[in-house]
Amino acid sequence: MKMFDPHIHMTSRTTDDYAAMAEAGIVAVVEPAFWLGQPRTHVGSFEDYFLSLTGWERFRAAQFGIRHFCTMALNPKEANNPDVAQGVIDLLPRYLEKDSVVAVGEIGFDDMTPEEDTYFVQQMELARTFDLPVLIHTPHRDKKRGTEHTIKMVKELDFPEHLVLIDHNNEETLPLVLETGCYAGHSIYPHTKMDEVRMAMLVKKYGGERIIINSAADWGVADPLKVPKTVHAMRDLGVSEPEIEKIVWHNPIAFFGQSGRLDMGADSELLPRDQRELFEGNSVLRGQTPVVDEGGVEE
Amino acid sequence: MGSSSGARCDALMAVVRAHGPGPALEWLLRGLPAPDGDFNRGLFFGFFAGAGRRFARAADGDFTPAPGELSALEAAGVQVPAAFRLSDLVRAALLLAATDVLPPEEHVGLVREAVLKGDTDERVAALRALSLLPNPARFVELAIDSCRSHVQDVFEAVACDNPYPAAHFPEASFNQLVMKALFTEVPLDRVFDWRSRNNAELARMAGDYEAERRAAGRSVPGDIGSIQETNP
Ligand SMILES: [Zn+2]
CA distances from A124 to A49, A71, A127, B24 (A): 21, 13, 5, 20
Q: For an interface test with B, which of A46, A50, A94 has the most B Cβ atoms less than 10 Å from its Cβ?
A: A94
Q: Which of B1, B2, B8 is nearest to B132 (CA)?
A: B8
Q: ipTM score of the complex? A: 0.82
Per-residue pLDDT tens for B46-88?
999 999 989 975 455 678 899 999 999 999 999 999 999 999 9
Q: Are A30 and A7 in contact (CB under 8 A)?
A: yes
Q: Are A38 and A45 in contact (CB under 8 A)?
A: no
Q: B45, A93: Cβ pair inside 8 Å?
A: yes
The CA distance from B225 to the nearest CA of chain A, in Å, is 36
Please state, as a whole number, how many other Cβ atoms lie within 10 Å of the Cβ of residue A12: 16
Reply yes or no on whether the pLDDT at B150 is more than 90: no
Determine the average pLDDT of the residues in A130-139. 96
Per-residue pLDDT tens for A156-182?
999 999 999 999 999 999 999 999 999
Calculate how far, in angstroms, residue A136's C-alpha sits from the geometric centre of ligand 1: 10
Nearest-angstrom CA–CA distance, B3 and B11: 12
Backbone φ, ψ for residue B199 (5° rounding): -155, 165
Percent of chain A exceeding pLDDT 70 equals 98
Calculate how far, in angstroms, residue A218's C-alpha sits from the geometric centre of ligand 1: 7
CB contacts of A98 in chain B (<8 Å) are: 49
Reply yes or no on whether the pLDDT at A299 is more than 80: no
Q: A94, B117: Cβ pair inside 8 Å?
A: yes
| HEC assignment per residue over B66-118 | CHHHHHHHHHCCCCCHHHCCHHHHHHHHHHHHHHHHCCHHHHHHHHHHHHHCC
CA neighbours within 13 Å on the CB side: how many for A18?
Answer: 24
Please state, as a whole number, how many other Cβ atoms lie within 10 Å of the Cβ of residue A261: 18
Q: A96, B53: Cβ pair inside 8 Å?
A: no
CA A230 to chain centre: 17
Strand ranges for A159-237 from DSSP E = 164-166, 183-187, 211-214
Instruction: Indicate the fold that domain A3-106+184-281 takes in CATH.
Output: TIM Barrel (3.20.20)
Element (H, E) at A3: strand A3-5
Task: Note which residues in 8-47 of chain A have CB less than 8 A from chain B.
Answer: none
**Helix B4-19, helix B86-101: angle, nearest 10:** 150
Per-residue pLDDT tens for A253-272?
999 999 999 999 888 899 99
Chain B: residue whose CA lies nearest to A99 = B53
